[in-house]
Amino acid sequence: ELKVEQNPLFLSMQEGKNYTIYCNYSTTSDRLYWYRQDPGKSLESLFVLLSNGAVKQEGRLMASLDTKARLSTLHITAAVHDLSATYFCAVDMRFGAGTRLTVKP
Amino acid sequence: NAGVTQTPKFQVLKTGQSMTLQCAQDMNHEYMSWYRQDPGMGLRLIHYSVGAGITDQGEVPNGYNVSRSTTEDFPLRLLSAAPSQTSVYFCASSYSMWGTNTGELFFGEGSRLTVL
């Protein structure tokens, strides 16, 4: 059975700091997705990673995929308050538990 | 452009009642799915469909039925509601999950269900 694991599950950061969220999965797949969810809202797509070594960047967020290690990372650079949200990774229609990110001034 | 539309947004049921959550998309997407979201558990796949007339079970299908008579609609039926089905339900769609399509999911706004 496919398992998708994220860590950490909770992350409190100060503005301006860097951090990485990790997503491990248990099956062979060359596609991985990152979504963002604001409190009380729906999910919106952040990144679509479609092959080994794929790297996507949007503003202060950068996502990468290593299919051999079955690992994706979401790197946050110089965090700002607007990045506070829950981030999910997903593989083959299965989602991780989510990482709740809080960025403090 | 409506995207994925879910109704109702909020619903309170008594144990044993039945109801249907509606989901419609206007993007001509082949793939549609239902998830439930519970605190600390991410999203869990209930049922999905890869096209009209085709449905399959996900991770947590018990207590739920689906049908896909048209490309646009994918209703989720609760047969006999239980308190364990209290959750937020999301419908999602994608053009296709395979081949050259990205498989990116587009989500509805969610339906918050409480079963007393």
Q: What is the pLDDT of residue B59?
A: 94
**pLDDT tens sequence across B103-112:** 899 999 999 9
Q: What is the pLDDT of residue B44?
A: 96
Q: What is the pLDDT of residue B70?
A: 97
Q: What is the pLDDT of residue B100?
A: 60
Question: Which residues does A60 contact at the CB level (< 8 Å), separation at least 6?
Answer: A76, A77, A78, A79, A80, A83
- Give the mean model confidence (pLDDT) for residues B79-89: 97
Q: What is the pLDDT of residue A1?
A: 85
**pLDDT tens sequence across B31-48:** 999 999 998 788 999 999
**What H or E segment, with its residue span, contains residue B56?**
strand B54-57
**pLDDT tens sequence across B8-23:** 999 999 999 999 999 9
Do B103 and A98 count as a contact with CB atoms less than 8 A apart?
no
Q: Is B35 on the interface with A (CB under 8 A)?
A: yes
- Give the mean model confidence (pLDDT) for residues A62-83: 96
Q: What is the pLDDT of residue B87?
A: 98
Say how far residue A74 (Cα) sits from the centre of its chain.
4
Please tell me the distance from the alpha carbon of residue B97 to that of residue B35, in angstroms, as a whole number. Answer: 16
Whether the predicted pLDDT of B99 surpasses 70: no
Asked whether B9 and B22 are in contact (CB, 8 A), the reply is no
Please tell me the distance from the alpha carbon of residue A87 to that of residue A21, in angstroms, as a whole number. Answer: 9
Nearest chain A Cα distance for residue B80, angstroms? 26
Tell me the pLDDT band of A57, cut-offs 50, 70 and 90.
very high
Q: What is the pLDDT of residue B97?
A: 67
Which chain A residue lies closest to B92 (C-alpha atoms)? A43
